[in-house]
Amino acid sequence: MHKAHYIIVILLGIILFSYGALCFGEKIVIIGNHDHSPKVYMEDNKANGILIDIMKYVDQNSLHTFEYKLYPWKRAYENALNSKGGIIGLSMNSERLKTFDYSDVMFYDDLRLVVLKGHEFPFNNIKDLKGKIVGVQLGASYGEAFEKAKNSIFIVDGDKSGQQRLKKLLSKRIDVALISPGKMGLNSVIIQSPELLKRKDEFVILDKPFKRDPNFLGFKKTMNMEGFIQEFNKVLKKGHESGAIQKIIDNYGSINK
């Protein structure tokens, strides 16, 4: 065998062996936000939420197993950038597409604008936020239009959790809070805090959603997880087509009504 061909065969063997090891028992680290109920959160030192249950569905219907590590979003994202695992709840933008390999859509995140009762305003597009202070999750991406408009059309105020955001809204430190996913997300934040629960009737969700944001599982390109992502997508598709994933989402909706 020619030396060059011999080297290629060896390299292919190493790649196949590595992926085979990944398929048959090695846990894949999945990183996420520790405080974004009901999407993903920590409770009793365990990872919970819609995205975690979708990952568990994949676990049950494939050869892959997962280890979950949840942190404040900014730290979670930094860990993903440092190739410490795949990250769930990842939005897509042109900059991130250069860095991450993306799965198919896991979940559509309904981003809503929450204001205090009596401070409602008509919202049709991003220009309607002119002059307002908008509370957002630190390190999160809300799309290209949002990135272009922030600190020019409106001012952003970052925090680590939905609870912090709503408390800032109550104290009028911000004008609008971006909360997700939808009413389900707002209710999940409120029921975690006695203070917010007492004042729940003061919050109003504006009629038009800010954005319906597709969420993905992403891996740093240098991790070479394309083969796994292809297998993941097959199981994900099966879950969407069978209604199993919608059932997971609906279950969380019923809990928070």
195-220 pLDDT, tens digit per residue, is 999 999 999 999 999 999 999 999 99
pLDDT at res. 25? 55
pLDDT at 52 over 70: yes
Domain range annotation of the chain: 28-108+213-255, 109-212
**pLDDT tens digits for range 80-136:** 999 999 999 999 998 999 999 999 999 999 999 999 999 999 999 999 999 999 999
| Fold agreement between 28-108+213-255 and 109-212 | yes
pLDDT of residue 20 exceeding 60, the answer is: no
Q: Which of 25-39, 45-59, 86-100, 211-225 has the lowest mean pLDDT?
A: 25-39
Cα distances from 161 to residues 18, 32, 37, 93, 118, in angstroms, run: 38, 13, 10, 22, 24
Q: What is the pLDDT of residue 6?
A: 47
Strands (E) in the chain, as ranges, are: 27-33, 35-36, 40-43, 46-48, 65-71, 86-90, 100-102, 107-116, 133-137, 155-159, 176-179, 203-205, 211-220
Pick the CATH number of 109-212 from 1.20.1250.20, 3.40.50.720, 3.30.930.10, 3.40.190.10: 3.40.190.10
The pLDDT-based confidence of 9 (bands split at 50, 70, 90) is very low
Look up residue 207 and give its DSSP letter. S
Average pLDDT, the chain: 89
Task: Please report the pLDDT score of residue 168 as a whole number.
Answer: 98
Q: Assess if CATH 3.40.190.10 describes domain 28-108+213-255.
A: yes
pLDDT, position 215: 95
Residue 10 has pLDDT above 50, yes or no: no
pLDDT value at residue 53: 98
pLDDT of residue 247: 96
